[in-house]
Structure 1
Amino acid sequence: MPNLHVIYRREPGLTEQWSVYSFPESVYTGGSSLAEARSRFREAAEYGVDDFADRVLVEHIEEPLTERAFIRTAVDRHSLDRREAAKLFAGSLTFAVQAAAFDRDAPSAADGTAVVVACTPTDTVRWVLEQMGEKDALSICVAQPGDTV
């Protein structure tokens, strides 16, 4: 069964707002809470994706990382490892030199933002590529022993 990656993006700001998009079939929706965004996505995907019931749904949460960047973590059996990688990566951006290098060098996705995917050493390139469109770009981070990323 092919994967359908769904990304729930918490938009920056004081008010909770979520955008939702998916790959490889594009389904776009949103909500004022994660629960509402999930519900709206499932409703839209059941209508808009021909073989939705046969898909393996891989959910991801994107959180703001900087003003123009997000960090993405998959919701799966490796979630704790992914969150640790995301936490270490975000911590690395507290150093001005590293934050400036990231802002300068991080590739932009189709919407102009930079997206970093928190990975584990067992993730495949194919799995990462499934999470993007042909005009997208992703960076990845992987936590290593000794609290390095």
Structure 2
Amino acid sequence: MSPHVQARVAEGDAGRPGGLFRRALRRLASSNEELEDEELQRTVRENGATPISSCADRQLVDLCGDVRTVTINPRGGKPAVEAELKDGSGSVTLVWLGRRRIPGIEPGRAIRVSGRISCAGTGQRVMFNPRYELL
């Protein structure tokens, strides 16, 4: 096989006849949310992070994604910052206890977090006081 043909085969769908057309048509037919989810999932793979949807209860994980919402909710009479992190496969609520604000944690910001994830009785994933890195 010639190097040119090998390169086209390595490209996957783009190497097949109509591959570029198929991808362009798919992008036109997909919603913005689906395209954003695909981009977030690609970022997760590139950073070597764990997809949220595959996290098990009480597992130590590294996650990355975009902060969707930030709220201040008191827990037990103490302040707590809560942020929803979405990575295209699912979402997790990040909770920092005893804080009213965390500089840099704001909607639209890409972050990487590390910690132990737990699944509440409702199936909602939660991570308390994770270590974080702004991306």
TM, length-normalised to structure 2: 0.26
Larger Rg: 2
TM, length-normalised to structure 1: 0.24
